[in-house]
Chain A
């Protein structure tokens, strides 16, 4: 008995998950960080390892021993709370940011309420009156689960494509 046959990704599921990711991007781009936190499961692991330049063919270029983020819901909440203070200068005056989320691919798991979701991101940001536009791009691997009839992001791993980050800081969530 194959899992894929039993747990299919229906068009409805795909649409619901796509909507969640689009809603998330909207919250982040509109500084609704507390609403964003509500989309995350209390047990979330939120990670962002470094990308490295590696020699060889068919070898991983994810530096699993090195990170930009290794967060729990508690540490994310601390980061979020900071963004509601008056003196988090990096976001006051606020930057203008957009998360463009594409290439969403949903995969079923053994649990009918749980899906593996891969998406691409392009993050763009404008700051103060400078003409420079900052950007970052890469891929996200999520586990999204229906808990008490609500979709929650249970784990996220963000893989940047750059080994040298070109945004002047990483005050954003991805």
Chain B
């Protein structure tokens, strides 16, 4: 089926257009492309599962999804983090449907098989009497997620046992994670992630969030009308867009002067010595100048660390969101709020309120984003857009900064840093990487590279 509609010619045309800074629009919600993405991207890349502070105690667990694979993420009695397919090995039934909890054993409601925190099958109802010697319990433990690793408290899983290690996969992004997550000695998650289903394609949401500060001045114009954001249409464009290996990226948005509008993103002064302690001079330099960090880990984890104010107070927080694809035109968004463990309790509470006012489904900024996401997928099914031969020139424009913006060699962080965030460099990189991954082993001659 996929072979039939996705031929080599369509892929070569795709590649040709992408090299010109154009993305054919038929790929956005094409169902065959979607199937390929799930198999070839999500089957082999590192997916975010949760943060270590979500499973603090021995026996703590959360249930998560790697697209359609249910995951049980636990802290064992020895304090180790483990992840299993959340499915009973007997008949495949989903083992645990709770969002979180703390337990010693997980028992399947179907026939009563139970497993401990190590994933070992420890109980079978009437086991000895009905199975006899032909069944060895040690062969029927929960299936582990092939690779699980964490960096700065962020736990990831990978379904491909042969995929490169998490640290290699994150590459240059580790340096920025050290700032975002490590600046004060560690972050903590508050509560559960908010979850909602948006009308959107995961590629568009990931790009919108990680790579597109240019949308801020129009999509979020209401904040300008209300006098919260500056009138200057370039206000979200000052700073650097950094493009990294594996299509990860970050925008370090500063201000017109290149200096911070508020020192250290409005964090309490009591925390600043911690930043000096935990960051290198180069990292501290960036943290001291930044207004907003916004970026993403390919394919579907995005983050923002902004400054927001409600009722006269300014504060900062870290928000991670995972775009779980559930259909070509649907994404289930998982949105986590993180704050420095070392922050004063009152500040944590204020920051949480600031987050709720800005991001997540009830956040005023994100509400407007959901409208544009929906408008992209709602028009993506027409014949003009679906035409793979591009007779109607249905291509999206990624030409911003395509040829004239050169990297800034003096930027202190790793990656290729462009001296503006109004640039499509990261978007292009994300889409090029996407093509490379989905077309891998598809044709005799590789399409990409």
Contact = CB atoms under 8 A, between A and B. Distances in A.
Interface of A: 48, 50, 52-55, 63, 65-72, 74-75, 78-79, 81-82, 85-90, 127-128, 130, 132, 163-171
A164 B196 contact: yes
A132 B356 CA distance: 26
Contact of B190 (A65, A75, A89, A170): A65
Contacts of B198: 168-169
B40 interface: no
Give chain B's interface secondary structure class.
mixed
A63 B101 contact: no
29 contacts: A48-B362, A54-B101, A55-B96, A65-B190, A65-B192, A66-B190, A70-B356, A72-B311, A75-B357, A78-B310, A78-B364, A86-B225, A87-B368, A88-B222, A88-B367, A88-B368, A89-B371, A89-B372, A163-B99, A163-B195, A164-B332, A168-B197, A168-B199, A168-B374, A169-B198, A169-B362, A169-B366, A169-B370, A170-B196
Contact of B194 (A66, A79, A85): A66
B47 to A, nearest CB: 18
B368 A90 contact: yes
Nearest to B364: A82
A90 B370 CA distance: 7
Given A68-B362, A75-B311, A75-B353, A50 B332 contact: no
Given A70-B356, A74-B311, A89-B219, A169 B97 contact: no
B353 A70 contact: yes
Contact of B197 (A55, A65, A70, A164): A164
Query: Which of A63, A75, A170 has the largest number of chain B CB atoms within 10 A?
Result: A170
B238 interface: no
B362 A85 contact: no
B99 A68 contact: no
A66 B335 CA distance: 11
A170 to B, nearest CB: 4
Contact of A68 (B97, B332, B356): B356
Given A54-B98, A72-B311, A169-B366, A79 B357 contact: yes
B100 interface: yes
B237 interface: no
A50 B96 CA distance: 19
B226 interface: yes
Q: Which 7 A-B pairs have the closest CB atoms?
A: A66-B191, A87-B221, A65-B191, A165-B196, A85-B225, A169-B370, A170-B362
Contacts of A170: 196, 361-362, 367
